[in-house]
Amino acid sequence: MQLKRIWGLALLSGALLLAGVPSLAQRTVDLQGHRGARGLLAENTLPSFVLALQAGVSTLELDVVVTRDDVLVISHDPALNPDITRDAQGRFLQSKGPDIRQLTFEQLQSYDVGRINPASRYAQTFSAQKGQDGVRIPRLKDLFELVKAQGYTQVQFAIETKITPQRPDQTPDPERFAQLLLQEVREHGLQDRVQILSFDWRTLQAVQKLAPGMPTVYLTAQLPTLDNLGIPSGQPSAWTAGFQDAQHGSVPRMIKAAGGSHWSSFWRELDAQKVREAQSLGLQVLAWTVNDRQSMGQMLDLGVDGLVTDRPDIAAELLKERGIRWSSPR
């Protein structure tokens, strides 16, 4: 029986190599906790990041915006989101709150983001998320200091700049945003443990000029709610810093021409051919945001280099079962 198992694994490894996927013995995957562990605790909060670290992620994925007093804070939404934000009296906001760029960090601390509004659609999507009280939007430096204090010396940070060409009033300009972020990273000595990502490729271009060699992750989506490529329209996209599909012929070639190191795609938009093309150009391919075992398995079968997930606990179990390695956060 043991010989049959060994022979079966050898055949599987050979098949994977022929398909362009590294053998199980060679393969490592970047396990990224999306907004910490959003499926289990409130997104982009310190408790959520701690839970992701305890699940053993290689990388903490998070989003940053900038307050009125130029403090980098961890939030997916440039404006306060009523689905997850309560005021000082403990009441959920009735509509979208003020832009974070219009608030000082001190003003921002009066809001609680530890629970989902049970009346929202968001609550149905993340029904397993446990609510907490007294949870604030943290500064980026708070996360850096927490990780250091708890001895996670190897964990990486994937930091997304929340910026859009459609609302320049919500953020600093791309160059200033990149400067503020890189200053924070350097002050904490984390240059070798950070990758910067964005749907708005202008900040990535600024990062590449200001910090050559820092990994830049080019995010893409072609959804009704967010399409930063605009390929079907045939019109130039304002999101892609002048790199257009009409000029380069494919998304991986656009990213390669832009100087990116990674392509992070909405997982449903990936297929084997796209993954192979990107990797042949020297890009690493990440699939976001993939949350169930079956979909994770599909992405691993395509040979992606990383999974971005709200459920790092499920992903870690699956990787163990498949004998795929990932880096420890410690």
What pLDDT score does 9 carry? 43
pLDDT tens-place string over residues 158-171: 999 999 999 999 99
- Burial label for 219, CB within 10 Å (0-12, 13-18, 19+), is buried
Q: Could you give the CA distance from residue 58 to residue 43 in angstroms, rounded to a whole number?
A: 18
- Higher-scoring residue by pLDDT: 18, 206: 206
What pLDDT score does 10 carry? 43
What pLDDT score does 6 carry? 38
Mean pLDDT of 3-13: 43
Mean pLDDT of 50-58: 98
Q: pTM of the entire structure?
A: 0.92
Distances (CA, A) of 209 to 64, 159, 160, 202, 214: 20, 17, 17, 11, 10
| Cα dihedral 179, 58, 146, 313 sign | positive
Mean pLDDT of 139-145: 98
- What residues contact 302, with CB distance under 8 A and at least 6 apart? 21, 270, 271, 272, 275, 287
- Secondary element (H or E) of residue 266: strand 262-266
pLDDT tens-place string over residues 276-308: 999 999 999 999 999 999 999 999 999 999 999
- Higher-scoring residue by pLDDT: 142, 13: 142
CATH no. of 22-81+137-322: 3.20.20.190
Q: Closest by alpha carbon to 148, among 99, 111, 189, 120?
A: 189
What pLDDT score does 233 carry? 87
Share of the chain above pLDDT 90, in %: 91
Q: Could you give the CA distance from residue 269 to residue 222 in angstroms, rounded to a whole number?
A: 8
β-pairing verdict for 194-198 and 59-66: unpaired
